[in-house]
Structure 1
């Protein structure tokens, strides 16, 4: 009896076959995956991934995931943050700051801002200054 005629051999080999979306399958981007959005997925630039651009992520607003060009963040342009108004994140041209209501650099009148060609500055012509009537 050949292997093609034996139901025992075809049944035993079926779960380990390499089809398009298998449990332990070898597709173009996945090593341990079942579909396109799997839990253990090695895509082009991901290691432990549930979607295309996240590393440790279960939904849109999770704790540790990577969006397009981020490392540890939630939103699009943040690094250590949970929502849009977090403390440590990078949005726009800032290095530490996320949005308008953050502690380290956020918008035009911040205390420590690294935007454009300034080092510690909030406006264009000031060196150590947070707003118009501040102490430093």
Structure 2
């Protein structure tokens, strides 16, 4: 039991050590002074997926990486870059997965076709079910 206690303590304390002690990036939680630029940045941030949370946009996520990405978006918007250029840069760096609106290409055809196939299959099954009742 004496050998297990230190190991158990290390295992339970590991998540505490994973927290970042760094301060958040400058524009992570600070809005831009220009309301037009902030609106552009906000719209872009809501269309980008958090790489840590995966189910949230970087605008909604509390993850450190999402804060860094928000700061990057705001800095680049403030420097005069267009949102589409920033999106292209992020997609180039992290892949299409970072975008909530992936492009239609052969690799993503199943993602776009699956809902249509499932609806068609449901209608076909429902049609057969209604015919039997008559």
Taking structure 2 as the reference length, the TM-score comes to 0.24
Bigger helix share:
2
| Higher-RCO chain (CA-CA 8 Å, sequence separation at least 6) | 2
Larger Rg over CA atoms: 1
Taking structure 1 as the reference length, the TM-score comes to 0.24
